[in-house]
Structure 1
Amino acid sequence: MTYDFRDKVILVTGGAGGIGSALCRRFAGGGARLVVVDIDEVRAERTAAGLPGSGHMGLGCDLLDRGAVERAIDGVAVTHGRLDVLVNNVGMTSAERFDVRSVESIEREIGLNLLSPLVTTRIALPLLRAATDPRVVTTVSLGGIFPLGETPIYTASKFGLRGAMLAIGLDLRGKGIRAGSVLPSATDTRMLRQEAVDGGNSLQFQDRPQQPEDVVRAVVGLLDKPRLEAYVRPGESRLVRFAMLAPNLLPRLFPLFRKRGERGMARYLDDLRRRGLARQVGGRWELVEEA
């Protein structure tokens, strides 16, 4: 079947970011009314204002603040009275290694990547139940299957999120709400560009990063054909799942993955330089902010 976006009310967290804004444009282009949620209220409102169609709204919301999440959901209830699709898309990572980063940064990353999607989903359940065909879609990561040695907190949050969403999908299935997750690999967004210039996780650069539109197609495919998980690049998913059959071999495999990833990161940085998105200053890479 093909999902009908017309007149659907869809909330996207991290909606002003690279993947989030691409999702919003696709949904709005199909006739949906978008609730763009982002910690940056100005960007959320600007993203909503630039969408095709009408009836969109942009909300600034710190998803680590439960009261703010409740107020955002209450606003949707007042305006629309229901929520057809919740897309948990927000996420963050850090290039800081585990042995030097602060405990507070660890707590924040776990809170945003793992706890906030669960809390947001729970708070949104009454509005989802008011819809005729409610859905929950969560952006996880292949890092929810394969341990990224250079970013263990991101790995922990995504492993936990994948497991939680599988369980929630099984639990809510019999209660009329279909929930599933999309597991992309490295995607060409500002977050990935920042990680590259900071010398972050080289394991993500085994292959050329995919585009936000690739993730959008996977999300739309999940809405077209509801299931627990969908992969943007099925070939990559098979590789990492196969590698996890023997986790004790990972210490031997990691040097091979890392060397390939380092070459891929170098190519990506050079591509960013050619596109005018990054530059070297004094031997260090830095992002060039887009206008």
Structure 2
Amino acid sequence: MMRYADRRVLVTGATGGLGAEISRRLAEEGARVAVADLAGTSLAELAASLPGAGHLTLELDVSDEDQWRAATARLESEWGGLDVVVNNAAIGSIATVEDEELEKWDQVVAVDQTGVWLGMKHTGPLIERSGGGAIVNVASILGSVGGFGNSIAYHAAKGAVRTMTKNAALHWASRGVRVNSLHPGFIETAQLLERFEGSERHRGMLANTPMGRLGKPAEIAGAVAFLGSDDAGFMTGAEVYADGGWTAR
């Protein structure tokens, strides 16, 4: 399936477990992928590993508006436009409402919430000028439910992504830019397993997922590929859950 032939795609947070799998899936479907992440991450290695040709690397701190300006200017200069953006970059904190510190709160909100807004602000007009396309905002089930009663900053930021998506979808609805949010449950990335495997939190993830397992990064990449493609052409402002049934309870 080559739904992304001749499509120009930007993926933020590209070197993480989900970002790399998303980038790979879209490249396999024919996209030219601009992989974006912080300076010092394995961007060149990732780009070289992707199938196809014409991929770009972008050093991008999504919380920095000047870096967004530079990134979109480069995409327009080198590619002549952009068709799809996947706002995937995120950081987390598991502190509770009482224990979270303001500095960490500000960091999480800057990346997970402000970074998505800046991504839409700067790529949406470029997608519109390019003839239309799609924005996929990777949110979380923790933007919709209370989870384990901790991770307050992450919940706040991902909840904002959920509603910002709907607002932006209405803004661009008649102008050819679709905006949808994807809400993964707990996904079996190396980062998650390294941090939580065998812990009480890990056991809680499994126990509260009706399918009884963690999701696979490839399953999230498949959902992203659908939302960014013409197969989802009548979808905008939607929130799609890939959570093994977590939010169905």
TM-score range relative to shorter protein: 0.7 to 0.9
Secondary structure of the 2:57 match is: strand
Alignment deviations for residues 39-96 of structure 1 (CA, whole Å, 9 cap, x no partner): 1444122111111111001111111111112111111111111110010011111233
Secondary structure of the 2:33 match is: strand
* Structure 1 equivalent of residue 62 of structure 2: 63
Cα pair 1:187 1:212 within 8 Å, conserved = yes
Task: For residue 14 of structure 1, report the CA deviation from its aligned partner.
Answer: 0.5
* Structure 1 equivalent of residue 248 of structure 2: 238
Name which of 201, 213, 216 aligns with 1:211. 216
Structure 2 CA distance for partners of 1:115 and 1:194, relative to 1, 3 Å: farther
1:142 aligned onto 2:141: yes
Task: For residue 15 of structure 1, report the CA deviation from its aligned partner.
Answer: 0.8
Structure 2 CA distance for partners of 1:199 and 1:92, relative to 1, 3 Å: farther
Amino acid of the structure 2 residue aligned with 1:76 = L
TM-score by length of 1: 0.76
* Structure 1 equivalent of residue 186 of structure 2: 186
Task: For residue 233 of structure 1, report the CA deviation from its aligned partner.
Answer: 3.8
Task: For residue 237 of structure 1, report the CA deviation from its aligned partner.
Answer: 3.0
TM-score by length of 2: 0.88
* Structure 1 equivalent of residue 176 of structure 2: 176
* Structure 2 equivalent of residue 252 of structure 1: none
Amino acid of the structure 2 residue aligned with 1:25 = R
Identity %: 26
In 2: Cα distance, 1:97 partner to 1:229 partner: 26
Secondary structure of the 1:137 match is: strand
In 1: Cα distance, 2:170 partner to 2:2 partner: 21
Q: Which has the higher contact order (CA 8 A, sep 6+)?
A: 2
Amino acid of the structure 2 residue aligned with 1:160 = A
Cα pair 1:82 1:127 within 8 Å, conserved = yes
Q: CA RMSD in A?
A: 2.1
In 2: Cα distance, 1:102 partner to 1:89 partner: 24
Number of equivalent positions: 238
Q: Return 35-44 or 158-167, whichever deviates more.
A: 35-44
Task: For residue 220 of structure 1, report the CA deviation from its aligned partner.
Answer: 2.1
In 2: Cα distance, 1:160 partner to 1:55 partner: 34
Task: For residue 19 of structure 1, report the CA deviation from its aligned partner.
Answer: 0.8
